[in-house]
Copies of this chain bind each other. A is one copy, B any other.
């Protein structure tokens, strides 16, 4: 079996050569020995992440921003539950970006995003993000090509600013196949407990499948930087997706290497009455 570190680092878009989204698998099993091993590794990652989060919070020096993007049914909700669920909720803040409100639309499109960025010590999780503004807008040609090009640059500048100010950024594109989306939409229709998730609009957007692939390819091409890299996660298999995301995230946190601030002045002589 291939070394998992090599497998996962191959999912990282390096921002050098032209991205061909079609070359990235949606159904990989590489780097881990099947579902059972992946679930065990996820549990192990969870324990490690919980401890790393405690230290990140205690140290309060670095913020972590985790961005999730995907087509409908790509698994954003579930991967957030499975990877971040077991971590102390006080240190994790999930923001789901929905259709912008009137007040939000009256500001520049990064206004609401900036307000939701994590504080030092916190892990901020974005379910959808600032990348929506170069997705729908591109697919449905809501803004001229020139504005789109400006936005890619603005997104990079914004992320660079965050990175230069103590925020570590990692971005995940959950990559599924057209057939897998069909199966998942069908299961939302068939399962009474999932019907509330079904939206007619999802079917409309599904007709633009190729355009969305192209729009994601442009994002990966233009907005994967050293400061804020994209990972393309094969997500047809849920257990593979969860394992890959948690393993990459663990590596990101381990690189930050947060520590409890134990060397605090003047505590050695304290007496408590």
Contact = CB atoms under 8 A, between A and B. Distances in A.
A252 interface: no
Given A272-B185, A272-B186, A272-B203, A192 B260 contact: yes
A145 to B, nearest CB: 29
A182 B90 CA distance: 25
A239 interface: no
Nearest to A78: B88
Interface size class of A (residues with CB under 8 A): 35 or more
Contacts of A148: none
Contacts of A266: 200
Task: Count identical subunits in the complex.
Answer: 2
Given A260-B195, A262-B196, A267-B189, A81 B92 contact: no
B267 A198 contact: yes
A185 B270 CA distance: 10
A249 interface: no
Contact of A262 (B96, B192, B260): B192
A192 B200 CA distance: 55
A90 B94 contact: yes
Nearest to A266: B200
17 contacts: A58-B193, A59-B196, A80-B88, A80-B90, A81-B89, A81-B90, A90-B127, A93-B94, A185-B272, A195-B260, A195-B261, A196-B260, A196-B262, A198-B264, A200-B270, A203-B270, A203-B273
A86 B88 contact: no
A147 to B, nearest CB: 31
A120 to B, nearest CB: 13
